[in-house]
Amino acid sequence: MIGASYLRRELVKCSDIILIVSVAETRDISLETVTMSTERKVDLTYEDILGLKTQRAIVLVDVRDHNEIQETGKLPDSIHIPLPELSQALQLPPEEFQKKYDGAELPLKSAPLVFSCRSGNRSRRAMNAALELGFAESRHYIGGFLDWQAKTGKK
């Protein structure tokens, strides 16, 4: 919860005089309930991912560890960059990135990156790391690989 201050103006009629009164209010609000119509959605669902993949409107990055990828495979059409390597990877020269990450192209800072992990925790950290590096269109898949498996029935 955070305290949010509001200033509202009210017209008050007193006899033949109309006063404009400014009233300040403070209310506790939850950050989870605050949304602005101009904000884009950063917590993406399975359905969001499918729609964006169909439009080829995202660069999907799987940030799980190597052993997790060996056990289950990565999300289809994703680039695998383990979370501990992410910040360094996004700062590599393009040719070095391509060599290290199976021929994938280094995303531009304007690229619509979507990070995924097992369940959504590491992907949020990855999104925040990318945002700090200037990748302003970074988002994450809140359900992660577990949600993907549940929705697709693939193991």
Q: What is the distance between the alpha carbons of residues 55 and 63, in angstroms, rounded to a whole number?
A: 22
Beta strands in 68-153 (DSSP E): 79-80, 113-116, 139-141
Q: What is the distance between the alpha carbons of residues 41 and 50, in angstroms, rounded to a whole number?
A: 15
Q: Is 14 a catalytic residue?
A: no
Q: State the DSSP string of 7-36.
A: EEEEEEEETTEEEEEEEEEEEEE-GGG---
Backbone angles phi, psi at 14, to 5 degrees: -130, 105
Active-site residue, selected from the candidate residues 86, 106, 113, 117: 117
Rounded to 5 degrees, what angle do the CA atoms 62, 138, 125 make? Answer: 60
Residues with a catalytic annotation lie at 117
